[in-house]
Structure 1
């Protein structure tokens, strides 16, 4: 088969490619760094001709051009599997909505859904000699997207890293309707928040519980990054990686020689991930790196897979935790922040792992824009808040004031443990509220 000839036959401009999109269509924009750029601009240019085009995607790193068109809600609706700050603003503008689902379920959802996409269009790495376009750091659910879309348009970007080592990480040219070559923009970056002193204190409490040979999963944010920095500076060795999201911290740990994957029971010597987003340092590291294993999310986040890896350590953030041990990592009341993601999968899987531990971490308090200091550990979650991990699922909870194992504790024990690591300024108030809720024993104090 002459793949180069087929390539030329399918090569069109972005303007020509998006002509196949009609009013009322479902159009998949891929995922994170794979979100289209040239095709997005061409579709925005057609906005006046289109109504009710429903777009799917998630974790946007750039503001799409379709978000900027006049009367956007009449033309496009954005449906996000997991939200970034860009998408949160779009909610307020009335044309974006979150699609609640455990991230690990996405491939199955696409394959079993009764409403497949009319068109999927996304960025890919240049075609290899075998006719394959690599998804870049977005294996995630992309094969399922391709299998269930009527038409596939790929936007080739020479700056997209080729992410290897796993499976379901490429699409063959024979499955593609059109090929577009854009301006080859740099890959969108996602810088982690700079670690605060509180982040570092929390990180220290977690790192002291990580053994040699542990397998790591880190979430996004200042605290997980602080953990990564401490690990990179530690004496830990023979660490492994099996994670939903590959972040810059893993690169730092690997370059310090702490990661070799030798103790993993599966995928030995490889760092396994569903998608990656970070800085250019990360993209350069995973490009053509056989140690970095790009795999679909229904594998990386499968509780059965996670639990099969001994000494699995899962580290994730929370927005707030109530005195019953319910974890909210998705919203502030009804104000949406991110999404369910894979946190629950890793909380469950890490606990089921032999010697494994799941850590939910947060600062004990935060300061609002008007300067008011509030506790992140609250009597009950605010109305409208989303429960990401139920009270039966939480394992370790960590703030700068300590670390407590909440698994299996009765309501009063759990309540006492949570208050013990709350900010001291709020403990008396929390005790009073706990008494009202009948989950406090006077003998405790």
Structure 2
């Protein structure tokens, strides 16, 4: 452990804090803290000003010339905004931090003592063990169940099955271990922390049980490649710290022909249209459809650049009720569709014209997906008809939802439109 004085301007509020999962940047992370914890943040700021110090050192790791905060993001945010109130999310908060800054006795500190840890595995071990009360926001905020789940999903740490142990055991039985070199198990667990990533290697972990989803021999070859890359440090923790990093590495394995594909799927298992998108098997059996997006697992993972997409998705899947909020749902459905299409265009490099409207962009994306083997001609046909105004699923219908004073969306119609476009939306979000 190294204790170091770090300039406040060199501290970066963590955009991938486990309180909220991956967000786009530091600004979004600061905004989240005030959207979700404004009272706590104000109380903490007043306490810091009253005492003239913070009582616990932030836990940070070096990243270039900066230091990313892994514990103490609220404290660091308060210090950064006291030093520069203009960074606060809105005018009211800017005035608050200006007033609090004026209360500071003596010269405001330029730097703060931090615990610096270069080993990110050690950072996760430290975070895993820290539990304190909230003390009305002055103390460290306790993680709720979703925050704990985010930590487990990011790191692969849980009290259940160890994916790395299971893989290592199977590779040993097949005499496919990478020589005498040890496999960094915590790094492997992080890479394979979520089902969509495990599925790409040809296995699944459900209800604490490891099982192959694709031909075992092919899956073992893919696992051996990952184990070798980790053991020989061709792949290190920093390479797969976030969703985009994990996806980039697995995409490279797919490009090399290492990963199992649909032809290797074991009998009786559904073949997904994409290695990262699992079609929701329980949609048709759902007892009652209360939300636009059925409350079943779609196999999505959310990088920070898709933070707004993620928030809209959660509103449509968990919060807005079809019978009570059809107008709000119809507008957000259109927004999610547009943002998803745009994400695919940017990430996959689909050529479009500036004047292309929603229908034209969707069709171009559909053709690109079909060429990539991710949708079939039947699915493309549904998208092609999207430009026809007399179709149930059409751009004209979505436009009327937003602009027409007389065109009222019905829960049944909205649900039908979602079911028709869900797979394409998921594929666009996973680009």
Q: Same fold (TM over 0.5)?
A: no
TM-score, structure 1 normalization: 0.32
Structure (1 or 2) with the greater strand fraction:
1
Which structure carries more helix by proportion? 2
TM-score normalised over the length of structure 2: 0.32
Mark the structure with the bigger radius of gyration.
2
